[in-house]
Amino acid sequence: MKFIMSLIAVAALSSVASAFAQDESPSPSPEEKASATVEDKPAATATPEQTKAQKKEETTATKSESPAAVKKETATATKSASPAAATASRKGMSTEAALRDMENKWEEAIAKHDTATVESMMSEDFIGVNSKNKVGGRRFVVSEVKSDKDTFASAKNEKLEVRMFGKDVAVVVGTSHEKGTGKDGKAFDRTYRYTDTWMNRGGKWQCVASQVALVSGK
């Protein structure tokens, strides 16, 4: 009898424990139910018009970011910002042509004793060697032009050759032929050969170095 009663007690305790465990199990929260509902909902299908518009936007973005497009934009910006290009465009001529024009105006200014034009051609740190092997700066050259007593009948450049070294440095090699009358009343006929080095600084070409040699005449 005791054995049967023990079995009944064990069975009763098992039923109580099972019921207690079911009561302790948490029920899903409203947020979890909503999340499950949203995840189970199928995604909306794009219309053909929306798909076509999306592809067009992706193609446009890819094209604008391509290396070729970036390179072209960079080259255009660089060209427009170049001081050498700005100088040529203002005068409506190439850099080489502009330098030849400046050399010609320099020679004309020497014949007219135009010290202002000669001075404007040279940089403040100019250094040069004249036909008498004297070394001097811009003031030295200007004083020579100012003190010159010769009367020029003609003065012109010949055989000008321009060599570019990058965008902002150029070397001009040429000859100048001068005729006229000296302060002693005697006629002169001289030919000089010179080498001028030019630099573009802030959009303005200036001669920074020069060397002159007397080829013929006195």
Q: Which tops the pLDDT comparison, 77 or 114?
A: 114
* CA–CA separation, 100 and 95 (whole Å): 9
Tell me: pLDDT of 9 over 80.
Answer: no
pLDDT of res. 55: 54
pLDDT of res. 80: 38
Cα-flanking dihedrals φ and ψ of residue 63, to 5°?
-65, -40
In one-letter notation, the amino acid at residue 131 is S
pLDDT of res. 192: 97
Q: Who contacts 182 (Cβ-Cβ below 8 Å, separation ≥6)?
A: 149, 150, 151, 188
pLDDT of res. 179: 96
Tell me: pLDDT of 131 over 50.
Answer: yes
Tell me the pLDDT tens digit for each residue of 171-204: 999 999 999 999 999 999 999 999 999 999 999 9
Tell me the pLDDT tens digit for each residue of 63-113: 444 444 444 444 444 343 344 443 444 457 899 999 999 999 999 999 999
